[in-house]
């Protein structure tokens, strides 16, 4: 088993002075100091100098824009619109306490399944037959390997309920939500 390297102040000064925030400089430092690449990486992390130079902090106007966009669009689309990573959008929405579950004017296929009291295959059959209008949630066709997320607008669901009332089974439907939809009450609480 390999012995851990005991770092001295001179080695730390070399790392602090010569580390350029790249893998190449990390490898060069490891070769120069006679330790592994991972040892240098661990020391860089311990010293707190591992922060990348290419980070782009969120401004207050971007945070406000994010809070406006979250109820209307999925996180992936917002990331493209704001030129951010998906992870950045999700983490910042959590930090500013904006729920991604409360939406304005649209539902996912799973929510429609719960409202209409049918399974996802039944709802998918209505989407495929174009009786229920839906768009791709992630702006691309869902694959058969999961990712079957659909974006169903509130007015399209209302139109489906009005055109096909015989499709509804009364025992398990979310009758309160259906009445609110037909009455034109906004779907978010």
Q: How far apart are CA 8 and CA 17, in angstroms?
A: 14
Q: Chain-wide mean pLDDT for the chain?
A: 84
Phi, psi values for residue 32, rounded to 5°: -70, -35
Q: Who wins on pLDDT, 140 or 48? A: 48
Q: Name the 3-class secondary structure at 96.
A: coil
- pLDDT of 4 reads 83
| Tens-digit pLDDT profile for residues 57-97 | 899 999 999 999 988 887 888 999 999 988 999 999 999 99
Q: In this predicted model, which residue has the larger pLDDT, 2 or 48?
A: 48
- Which comes out higher in pLDDT, residue 139 or 175? 175
User: Does residue 9 carry a pLDDT above 70?
Assistant: yes
- Does this model's pTM top 0.75? no
User: Looking at the DSSP assignment, which residues form a beta bridge with residue 107?
Assistant: 152
DSSP per-residue string spanning 82-148: HT--HHHHHHHHHHTT--SS--SSEEEHHHHHHHHT--HHHHHHHHHTTSS--EETTSSPPPSSS--
Place of tokens 């730390």: 12
User: pLDDT digit string (tens) for 102-133?
Assistant: 777 788 888 888 888 888 899 989 998 999 99
Q: In this prediction, what percent of the chain has a pLDDT beyond 90? A: 36
What are the boundaries of each domain within the chain? Answer: 9-47, 60-95, 106-183
Helices (H) and strands (E) in the chain, counts: 10, 3
Contact 108, 151 (CB under 8 A): yes
Which residues does residue 153 pair with via DSSP β-bridges, in sequence order?
106
Structure tokens that stand for 54 in this block: 């290419």
């Amino acid at each position: 088993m390999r012995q851990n390297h005991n770092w001295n102040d001179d080695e730390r000064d070399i790392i602090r002075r010569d580390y350029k925030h790249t893998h190449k400089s990390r490898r060069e430092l490891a070769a120069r100091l006679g330790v592994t690449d991972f040892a240098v990486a661990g020391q860089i992390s311990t010293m707190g100098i591992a922060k990348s130079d290419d980070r782009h902090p969120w401004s207050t106007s971007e945070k406000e824009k994010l809070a406006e966009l979250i109820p209307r669009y999925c996180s992936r689309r917002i990331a493209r619109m704001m030129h951010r990573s998906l992870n950045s959008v999700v983490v910042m929405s959590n930090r500013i306490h904006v729920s991604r579950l409360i939406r304005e004017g649209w539902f996912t296929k799973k929510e429609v399944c719960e409202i209409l009291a049918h399974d996802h295959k039944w709802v998918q059959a209505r989407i495929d037959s174009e009786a229920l209008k839906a768009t791709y949630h992630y702006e691309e066709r869902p694959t058969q390997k999961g990712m079957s997320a659909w974006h169903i607008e509130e007015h399209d669901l209302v139109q489906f309920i009005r055109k096909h009332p015989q499709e509804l089974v009364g025992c398990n439907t979310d009758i309160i939500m259906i009445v609110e939809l037909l009455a034109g009450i906004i779907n978010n609480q």
